[in-house]
Amino acid sequence: MGGCVAQLQGTAVLDRAPQVDVLVGTHDLSSVPDLVRRARAGEGRGVDLDRRADSFDVPDSAVAHSSRVRAYVTAIEGCNHVCSFCVVPRTRGAEVCRHPDGIVAEVRSLVARGYPEVMLLGQTVNAYRYGGVDFAGLLARVDAIDGLQRLRFTTSHPEHVDAAMARALRDLPRICPYLHLPVQSGSDRVLAAMRRGYTRQEYLDTVALLRAHVPALALTTDVIVGYPGETEGEFEETVSLVEDVAFDGVFVFMYSPRPGTAALRLADDVTGDEKLRRLQVVNTMQQRAQEGQNRSRIGRREEVLVDTVTGEGRVAGRTRDFRIVHLDGDEGLLGQTIEVEVTAAGSNSLVGSRSQTSH
Ligand code: SF4
């Protein structure tokens, strides 16, 4: 068992769950092989909850990527924010930025191994700063790597979006016009209670800045419904924000209390049924909006990087703005960028047919 819950609950897990052989927290990934080997050899249950930030040192050749097409590369570990509902600062600790040379070297090695696309990762990836290199500077360095076709990053925090980042999105050729920018709520009172660090208007201003630079930017977000004390009116403010921004995707979550968070002290007073209703309101509205957005693409040509075999004779890939496109094809197309004409659309994906191979 590994990750945030292991870090937070520690060895208490071992008492509760006799089936757990190895318990690893959020930091010491390099100890995993040894702990597993010792557990297998019957040398006892392995535990490592140290907070040494060594995960940057794991050799990239030892990292298994779930896709042959898109590789994930850590840029920052931890988070300096203090959102009231989130366990991450407690489990993963403060932000630690990785040396840009290490990031560039890992991306180069991935490109050499055939990965066309890289996604830079961090809880607040756009807070990146290492010495004189800010996030836009890091993007410029990675974007310049020969052979890389597409560059993405996630998750961005609204507070760290600045003009330099917007210019990077506009000007760097490999960066895709897609951004995940969690808003969580459209109500100023709830945003303040969540300690998100921005108001509704500031979030809208950030979106406006980004769209002024990249008009076709696809934007997705996260929303929490039923935060403690969230009134119907406050929920409606979230609904109107989601409508106003016209997101390309919204991930809606029902609030649930997490151990060790500030919000745990608040009464979880929105009923389960009401949370579910609010979730469904946002989802239904968003599905309708996405269907309209996607239908407007029918007839357009899109550059699709094929990343999945979905069934017999069928594959799927992503447009540059991260929309899923299904089309005829086989495993041989994996990792290829092809031009596709969109022929049909649903709320969550497009259907296309191949017009010609671009590279
Ligand atoms: S929600 Fe994101 S920004 Fe807020 S504390 Fe958690 S990881 Fe950090």
Domains annotated for the chain, with CATH where assigned, are 1-52 (no CATH), 55-295 (3.80.30.20), 301-357 (2.40.50.140)
DSSP element (H, E) containing 193: helix 188-194
Question: Are the C-beta atoms of residues 289 and 246 closer than 8 Å to each other?
Answer: yes
Q: Which atom of ligand 1 is nearest to the CA of 196?
A: 4
Determine the atom of ligand 1 nearest the C-alpha atom of 87: 6
The phi, psi pair for 121, rounded to 5°, reads -120, 145
State the Cα–Cα distance between residues 86 and 256, nearest whole angstrom: 10
Q: Which residue is closest in CA terms to ligand 1's atom 2?
A: 123
User: 180 C-alpha to center of ligand 1: Å?
Assistant: 13
Q: CA 221, CA 322: separation in Å to the nearest integer?
A: 13
The pLDDT of residue 61: 64
Cis peptide leading into residue 155 (ω within 30°): yes
- Strands 178-180, 218-225: pairing kind: parallel
Which of 4, 81, 183 to mutate to test ligand 1, by most ligand atoms within 8 A of the CB atom? Answer: 81
Are residues 205 and 179 in contact, defined by beta-carbon separation less than 8 angstroms?
A: no
Average pLDDT, the chain: 93
Place 59 in a pLDDT band, splitting at 50, 70 and 90.
low
Q: How confident is the model over 96-124, as pLDDT tens digits?
A: 999 999 999 999 999 999 999 999 999 99
Q: How far apart are CA 233 and CA 222, in angstroms?
A: 19
Separation of CA 89 and ligand 1 centre (Å) = 7
Handedness of CA 98, 102, 106, 107 (dihedral sign): positive
Run of H or E including 194: helix 188-194
- Angle at CA of residue 207, ends 292 and 100, nearest 5°: 115
Q: Which residue has the tokens 């995940």?
A: 180
Residue identifier of the C-alpha nearest atom 3 of ligand 1: 81
253 C-alpha to center of ligand 1: Å?
15
More confident residue, 322 or 13: 322
What is the reported pLDDT for 57? 64
Number of the ligand 1 atom closest to the C-alpha atom of 92:
7
Q: Is the pTM of this model over 0.75?
A: yes
Probe ligand 1: pick from 79, 82, 84, 87, max atoms within 8 Å of CB? 79
CA pair distance 345, 297, nearest whole angstrom: 8
Q: Which atom of ligand 1 is nearest to the CA of 79?
A: 8
pLDDT of residue 196: 98
Residue 232 to residue 214: CA distance in whole angstroms: 34
Give residue 328's pLDDT band: very low, low, confident or very high (50, 70, 90): very high
Gap between the Cα atoms of 158 and 197, Å rounded: 9
Does residue 256 contact residue 86 with C-beta atoms inside 8 Å? Answer: no
Greater pLDDT, 232 or 90: 232
Residue position matching structure tokens 């897609």: 178
Q: Which tokens sit at 281?
A: 């309101």
Cβ atoms within 10 Å, residue 94:
10
